[in-house]
Structure 1
Amino acid sequence: MEQTQDDELVPLRKKFRRKETGKEDNFVQSYYKIPDANNKLNDAQIDQLRWNAGIAVDGESCPAPISDFAQLNLPSQLQVYLQNKDYKHPSSIQMQALPCVMSGRDIIGIAETGSGKSLCYILPLCHLLLSRRHRSIATTRNIPMALILVPTRELVQQSYETLTEILKYMNIDDTKVPSSLPDPSHPMQAPTYRATMVCGGMPISQQIQQLNAGVDVVIATPGRLIDLIDKGKINLTRSYFDIICFQLGYEIRIIYLVLDEADRMLGMGMEEQLRKIVGVATQTLLARQTLLWSATMPTALDRLARSAVLNAITITVGVTGITNRKIHHNVQVINYAEKPIRLLKVLRHTTCPPVIVFANTIDTVDEVTLALKKEQFHVASLHSEKTQAYRFRVMTALKSGGVDVLVATDLASRGLDIPEVSHVISYDMPETIEDYIHRCGRTARFNRYGQATAFVTLDCKVVEDLKDVLVAAKQEIPDELVDSARFGKKIIRTEFGDRVI
């Protein structure tokens, strides 16, 4: 039988239909107990809850959204973590995604950046680890159960830091439980849960050493995984996924697969890499839960989803393709030569650092960074030619207040979780409106307000799309942008202004 193109997109696992919530037939057991309050809701009340939170769902047997973290009936360690981090109420995506993920369902989650998608897969993962404590690496062979794929090394580090912070709560026997929380019903010595990073820019020997020590979770970039596959370090012909040790080939059974920032990975040309990895993970065993998270819904994501998930629930929060409405846009139409002076003016009027300045090229990033240093700004740069150790130091300094201004290429425009960023500046406008949206997503995170300044020159190719973004955000369009036809041209930069060729 001739194989069609669509046949190649069909998951390698056998498809089974879902029955009812909590009765999963993809062999991924539910660890979610429906709250009593939700059991009393009728369909109309559930629809109203979703409508009020801006949630749309597509998929059969979708559990009702929660309104409070307490409804998840989480283990005491995770409750303490949420309380200490001052997580009081779930965001819209968390309201619907958390019960779906904990029910064992495959998920496609679409929500704006800064909406809290990371917690939607990290919190259930930690709950799953606790529920399978007898299979922890403390008592069994080195068999990781979860693989998290992200597009960049920075996101690997960020996801690792978030996960390991929660694991610290899980790895302490005497976790202090608030008086309002019940004692654990089955007290026992806490096993040691571990995660590790697999990405470029770091010594592979160090990664192998960490893997040899035993891990429960691997957080990786597709590029490093594919590189190891091509070098024969990961065997595609066997029925297991040998990530645990590239030299010894220990068995791996991935039952929890996460693709975070999926649209970003696809935009970076990683579709074939992701398909290859999904194919390998599919060979491990039938019981695998797959979660795809994205800020937009490109066509390529739909294609990938058809290969990666089974009977998934698609959760969409808000309108995709627009920016957070808590962001105020300041669009300035200027000549290229005016950019340095305008940047200084904008920065000096920004009272609450940190600020991220985006430029399109490495040379521009370095030039802007040097200029700001001469003006006595606490500034650092971030682009692909920086070492991984340097990048980690910069991100740590930015979060701790040691850096007020970060000048970066779009490498830093996705997924970096720095809630305090109050202002993002597009020194150069990007080639696509999606990149502009992702840049804006670095501010106004977690229900905060933010500012986005854009320097628009006559060679800008996204003016028409930018106007649509402003309209969707209910903000005024500058008079200079009304005539879109004069933009997107080739220009010559002169001391008297930009001239269209």
Structure 2
Amino acid sequence: MTFQSLGLSRAVLDALAHKNYDTPTPIQLQSIPPLLEGRDLLGIAQTGTGKTAAFMLPSIDRLVKANIRRKPMRCRMLVLAPTRELASQIADSARAYAKYTKLNVATVFGGTPIARNRRDTAAGVDILVATPGRLMDLIEQRCMSLADLEILVLDEADQMLDLGFIHTLRKIVAMLPVDRQSLFFSATMPRDIKELADKFLTDPAEVRVTPVSSTAERVEQYVTFINQAEKQALLTLFFQKNDVERALVFTRTKHGADRVVKLLATNGIAANAIHGNKSQPQREKALAAFRAGTVKILVATDIAARGIDVPGVSHVLNFELPNVAEQYVHRIGRTARAGKDGIAYAFCADDERAYLRGIEKLTRQSIPVVPLPENFQAESERIRNSRVGPIPAERPDRPRQEQGPRRPRATHAAKPAGDARARPGGQQRRGGRPGGGGRGGPQRAGGQR
């Protein structure tokens, strides 16, 4: 079947033709007809199955057909996403699909100035893509109302649960009008998510595509058993010996991602990290360099990786195995897209063997074991001796909410002469070294200077 056979409008079909899309994916085939009829939808599908077009194409048609004028500080369609990257990606797709309509699209998420969010939504929005936390900020400041919402989409609901958004989602659902269309997508269906779905879906059509236990058919998977302390040397050796188009490296923690990047850099290998402690400009810059191929290695945590849809990822390396087996499926699904082949390697330490067993049980396949390279110990010693910079000291991760309050900026007049922390214009350095002030300066709670 083609998109023309699904009953979509000419404006949407022209936008699809502009992007050279002609054949719908299974989830699009199953979702678009009932959504055009106005039914609610419960979709079980993992990343990369074409979910965004599945809910955005019929929603654009319904919004255009309804021809309701947007009102100030209100939105007609709300898409909730767990991460900034996914929200940005959905918004980009919405703009492309609405190219030949008069619908406008806006995003609101953390890491951007809330004043800008207020300006972007002040005159009203047809399609608003948001993360739950920033949306609640706008609602509590009385800068956004959901009273006239026509369509609600909840994407990656299981990931929102993992991020602790469940209470915020319940608050948002309580603000919604009864007369609306609701769409719910999740890769898995834990009890809390199922209960939430039951609260805001009415007689939904159900679509199940690509169960989470399946892995990309064109991905070659391998695992190497190795001590945790030797993983960095193995990773460095891998990039020195292999020609990589683009590689995603996954760690379990934010600090782990930063440490991998720093240690690769000491051996002359360029990489960027993306995780929750990075500012929005830093995340966007890292993704742009990865997409452009100027930096071929991106080190990410699972949270930040949701929404990364970059073509041409040739390798996925699990520097650390995820402790949730489903995350492994999401990770390796970042490669072997658009008909291309891909390779996924896992580095498995002794304390991760239980995670590996869980992954193999979920995927119902045994991952082939690749031994350590020949002369690995000698190569590892060579890598340690060839470092071009110091090894960064390891520091434990500390959640952002545990950091102490920032000290108010000092005025120019209040700065004592010779203060090592003083900055031109009365500004102060932020985010100092944990546990210490400036050179010779006093300590402050949370490490803020």
TM-score, normalised on structure 2? 0.77
The AA in structure 1 aligned to 2:14 is V
The AA in structure 2 aligned to 1:81 is A
Q: Secondary structure at the match of 2:125?
A: coil
Tell me, yes or no, if structure 1 residue 69 matches structure 2 residue 3.
yes
> What's the counterpart of residue 311 of structure 2?
419
Tell me, yes or no, if structure 1 residue 465 matches structure 2 residue 375.
no
In the TM superposition, what are the counterparts of 1:321-360 in structure 2 within 5 Å? Answer: 321-348=213-240, 350-360=242-252
How many angstroms apart in 1 are the aligned matches of 2:46 and 2:369? 25
Kept in 2: contact 1:258–1:292 (CA 8 A): yes
User: In the alignment, which of 223, 234, 248 is matched to residue 133 of structure 2?
Assistant: 223
Shift in Å, 1:407: 0.8
> What's the counterpart of residue 172 of structure 2?
277
Aligned-pair RMSD on alpha carbons?
2.3
Shift in Å, 1:142: 5.8
> What's the counterpart of residue 407 of structure 2?
none
> What's the counterpart of residue 441 of structure 1?
333
Q: Secondary structure at the match of 1:258?
A: strand
Q: Secondary structure at the match of 1:216?
A: strand
How many angstroms apart in 1 are the aligned matches of 2:214 and 2:167? 27
Kept in 1: contact 2:109–2:133 (CA 8 A): yes
> What's the counterpart of residue 162 of structure 1?
93
The AA in structure 2 aligned to 1:170 is Y
- Residue-pair matches, total: 371
Shift in Å, 1:97: 1.1
Kept in 2: contact 1:296–1:321 (CA 8 A): no
User: In the alignment, which of 98, 110, 122 is matched to residue 56 of structure 2?
Assistant: 122
**Structure 1: runs of 5+ lacking an equivalent:** 1-66, 172-191, 235-244, 481-494, 496-501
User: In the alignment, which of 118, 133, 151 is matched to residue 208 of structure 1?
Assistant: 118
User: In the alignment, which of 405, 413, 422 is matched to residue 297 of structure 2?
Assistant: 405
Tell me, yes or no, if structure 1 residue 105 matches structure 2 residue 13.
no
CA displacement, residues 128-178 of structure 1 (integer Å, 9 cap, x when unaligned): 23223x3244xx6564210000001111111112112233x225xxxxxxx
How many angstroms apart in 2 are the aligned matches of 1:349 and 1:263? 38
> What's the counterpart of residue 106 of structure 2?
196
How many angstroms apart in 2 are the aligned matches of 1:74 and 1:199? 30
TM-score, normalised on structure 1? 0.69
Kept in 2: contact 1:112–1:323 (CA 8 A): no
The AA in structure 2 aligned to 1:114 is G
How many angstroms apart in 2 are the aligned matches of 1:164 and 1:463? 40
Kept in 2: contact 1:194–1:214 (CA 8 A): no
For CA contacts below 8 A with separation 6 or more, give which structure has more relative contact order: 1
Shift in Å, 1:367: 1.7
The AA in structure 2 aligned to 1:164 is R
Kept in 2: contact 1:150–1:259 (CA 8 A): yes
The AA in structure 2 aligned to 1:435 is Q
How many angstroms apart in 2 are the aligned matches of 1:101 and 1:351? 45
Q: Secondary structure at the match of 1:459?
A: helix
CA displacement, residues 323-354 of structure 1 (integer Å, 9 cap, x when unaligned): 22222211111111221222123334554522
Shift in Å, 1:410: 1.6
User: In the alignment, which of 184, 198, 204 is matched to residue 306 of structure 1?
Assistant: 198
Q: Secondary structure at the match of 2:351?
A: coil
The AA in structure 2 aligned to 1:194 is N
Q: Identify if the C-alpha distance between structure 1 residues 261 and 448 changes in structure 2 by more than 3 Å, giving closer, same or farther.
A: farther
How many angstroms apart in 2 are the aligned matches of 1:70 and 1:378? 45
Kept in 2: contact 1:72–1:99 (CA 8 A): yes
> What's the counterpart of residue 254 of structure 1?
149
How many angstroms apart in 2 are the aligned matches of 1:254 and 1:94? 23
Q: Secondary structure at the match of 1:145?
A: strand
The AA in structure 2 aligned to 1:126 is I
How many angstroms apart in 2 are the aligned matches of 1:341 and 1:479? 16
Shift in Å, 1:467: 2.0
How many angstroms apart in 1 are the aligned matches of 2:316 and 2:220? 11
Shift in Å, 1:396: 2.3
Kept in 1: contact 2:214–2:329 (CA 8 A): yes
CA displacement, residues 459-489 of structure 1 (integer Å, 9 cap, x when unaligned): 11412212224534xx545499xxxxxxxxx
Kept in 1: contact 2:9–2:61 (CA 8 A): yes
Kept in 1: contact 2:222–2:369 (CA 8 A): no
> What's the counterpart of residue 62 of structure 1?
none
Kept in 2: contact 1:114–1:446 (CA 8 A): no
How many angstroms apart in 1 are the aligned matches of 2:137 and 2:73? 22
Kept in 2: contact 1:321–1:434 (CA 8 A): yes
How many angstroms apart in 1 are the aligned matches of 2:14 and 2:119? 32
Shift in Å, 1:119: 0.9
Question: Identity of paired residues, percent?
Answer: 34
Q: Secondary structure at the match of 1:371?
A: helix
Kept in 2: contact 1:275–1:307 (CA 8 A): no
> What's the counterpart of residue 149 of structure 1?
80
Shift in Å, 1:310: 0.5
In the TM superposition, what are the counterparts of 1:472-487 in structure 2 within 5 Å? Answer: 472=365, 475-478=366-369
CA displacement, residues 53-79 of structure 1 (integer Å, 9 cap, x when unaligned): xxxxxxxxxxxxxx2111123222321
CA displacement, residues 223-263 of structure 1 (integer Å, 9 cap, x when unaligned): 2233445xx325xxxxxxxxxx34xx6x7411100000111
The AA in structure 2 aligned to 1:207 is N
The AA in structure 1 aligned to 2:127 is V
> What's the counterpart of residue 390 of structure 1?
282
How many angstroms apart in 2 are the aligned matches of 1:459 and 1:409? 19
Tell me, yes or no, if structure 1 residue 264 matches structure 2 residue 150.
no
How many angstroms apart in 2 are the aligned matches of 1:144 and 1:261? 21
Shift in Å, 1:207: 0.5
> What's the counterpart of residue 65 of structure 2?
131
How many angstroms apart in 1 are the aligned matches of 2:342 and 2:18? 25
Q: Secondary structure at the match of 2:128?
A: strand
Shift in Å, 1:98: 1.4
Kept in 1: contact 2:221–2:368 (CA 8 A): no
The AA in structure 2 aligned to 1:163 is A
